[in-house]
Amino acid sequence: MTKDTVAENRKKFLAKAREQLLETKTKLLGEIDSEMRAEREGNKDEGMDAYDLASEERDREINFILSDRERVKLKQIDDALERLDDGTYGVCESCGLEIAEERLNAMPFTRLCRDCQQDEEREAKSQARRLDDEPNAYRKVGSTDADDDSA
Ligand SMILES: [Zn+2]
């Protein structure tokens, strides 16, 4: 394969990756939408109209309905699409090499190549061990919901 063919193949691969990401996003938004609809129906039964809620409250409602999994996934999709736009998608953030297509197929949101991922995991593990040795390094999580206005 010539260098041009390789670049051309990569371009095709990235175009396909974008299509798949958009498809996943559409599907996910559809799921979230129907969940929200179901939630609104539920509210109506209690004599409450979700449309009348102040926007801050509505945001809270959406956040409440969105599971962490959905929220994380949506963010990952948007991030990946952004990286596709600026040309950094599929390029390892650590070493700058192109991430193998089979890895991207399996993990479309990954930002690291296999080697760097392994390095990072090793690093995270040794960091966790260091924290274990030093119990004071953990951040205090003590305050109750009642006096927490920062959310
Ligand atoms: Zn790398």
74 three-state secondary structure: helix
Q: How far is the CA of 98 from the centre of ligand 1 (A)?
A: 8
Instruction: Read off the pLDDT band of 18 (50, 70, 90).
Output: very high
**Does pTM top 0.85 for this prediction?**
no
Q: Chain-centre distance of CA 25, in angstroms? A: 11
Dihedral sign (CA 124, 129, 132, 136):
negative
Looking at residue 65, what is its pLDDT? 67
Amino acid at 83: R
Q: What is the pLDDT of residues 38-91, one digit of tens each?
A: 877 776 555 555 555 566 666 666 666 677 888 889 999 999 999 999 999 999
Q: How far is the CA of 11 from the centre of ligand 1 (A)?
A: 20
Q: How far is the CA of 96 from the centre of ligand 1 (A)?
A: 6
Q: How far is the CA of 62 from the centre of ligand 1 (A)?
A: 36
Q: How far is the CA of 20 from the centre of ligand 1 (A)?
A: 23
